[in-house]
Amino acid sequence: MTRPLTLVRPLLRPAKDAFAGDDAALVDGFRRGDRRARAALYDRYAEHVHRVLYRVLGVHRDLADLHHDVFVRALGSLPNLEDPSALKGWLTMIAVHVARSSITRQKRRSWLWFLPSEELPEVESGAASGEVLDALRATYAVLDTLPVDERIAFALRFVDGMELTEVASACETSLATIKRRLARACDRFGAAARKQPVLEAWLDGGTRWGVPSDR
């Protein structure tokens, strides 16, 4: 597993989370200049941010730098957060912005899928078989062909497993818009995945994507 945020965390080392899982207290502490709040923010949400970035981007050699960027942006904007109880969703939204910028920058480059094996970051699965890793690479190669907004919606919904309302919030758009994006993304992904031999067996095995109407 890629180790996230190595540049910020060593400076933010409290004895324990002084805010006991209370996001509102954490934000208030940050606004008061309590350095423990900075550490608590990282300790509480580092894994969540890493997961969102990984689900959207896949194997990416800049993942640690992007993870760092999310927290730099968050620390700079946290005093302006209107609803402290929405801290997790707000961080997800920042992670999506960072991921979208990265995809846009790399959209026309293919180095990610053709790096020599010794240069690839570790994949987030210590016991994954070669077949699974091949399917994982092929999945993200297909996602790389999708329009960026559709890719992000698809990854958050079907790779990370977020509820539709969470996906809409992370993408800063309406539920209706997210459903339309997902419908288009599912069609594009299914058509492109059929052209990947390593994914054909997975599709034939019953893998399906849909857009539920209730959540």
For the domain 1-123, what is the CATH code?
Answer: 1.10.1740.10
| Predicted local confidence at residue 197, as pLDDT | 84
Average pLDDT of the residues in 52-61: 88
As a whole number of Å, the end-to-end CA separation of the chain is 31
- Cβ pair 49, 95 in contact under 8 A: yes
In the predicted structure, residue 196 carries a pLDDT above the cut 70: yes
| Predicted local confidence at residue 114, as pLDDT | 39
Question: Average pLDDT over the chain, rounded to whole?
Answer: 79
Average pLDDT of the residues in 41-54: 94
In the predicted structure, residue 73 carries a pLDDT above the cut 80: yes
Average pLDDT of the residues in 173-196: 93
Q: What is the rounded distance in angstroms from the CA atom of residue 144 to the CA atom of residue 105?
A: 12
| Predicted local confidence at residue 12, as pLDDT | 43
pLDDT in tens, 98-149: 999 998 887 645 444 433 434 434 444 444 567 778 888 888 889 989 999 9
Identify the CATH assignment for 125-215 out of 1.10.8.60, 1.10.260.40, 3.10.129.10, 1.10.10.10: 1.10.10.10
Percent of the chain residues topping a pLDDT of 90: 49
More confident of the two residues 7 and 149: 149
pLDDT in tens, 14-33: 445 567 778 999 999 999 99
- Where exactly are the structural domains of the chain? 1-123, 125-215
Long-range contacts of 171-179 (CB under 8 A, 24+ apart): 171/93, 171/96, 172/93, 178/153, 179/211, 179/213
The first and second tokens of residue 14, run together, are 């409290």
Number of neighbours of residue 32 by Cβ within 10 angstroms:
8
- Cβ pair 154, 186 in contact under 8 A: yes
More confident of the two residues 135 and 185: 185
Q: For the CA atoms of the chain, what is the radius of gyration? A: 18
| Nearest residue to 122 (alpha-carbon basis) of 110, 136, 107 | 136
| Predicted local confidence at residue 206, as pLDDT | 52
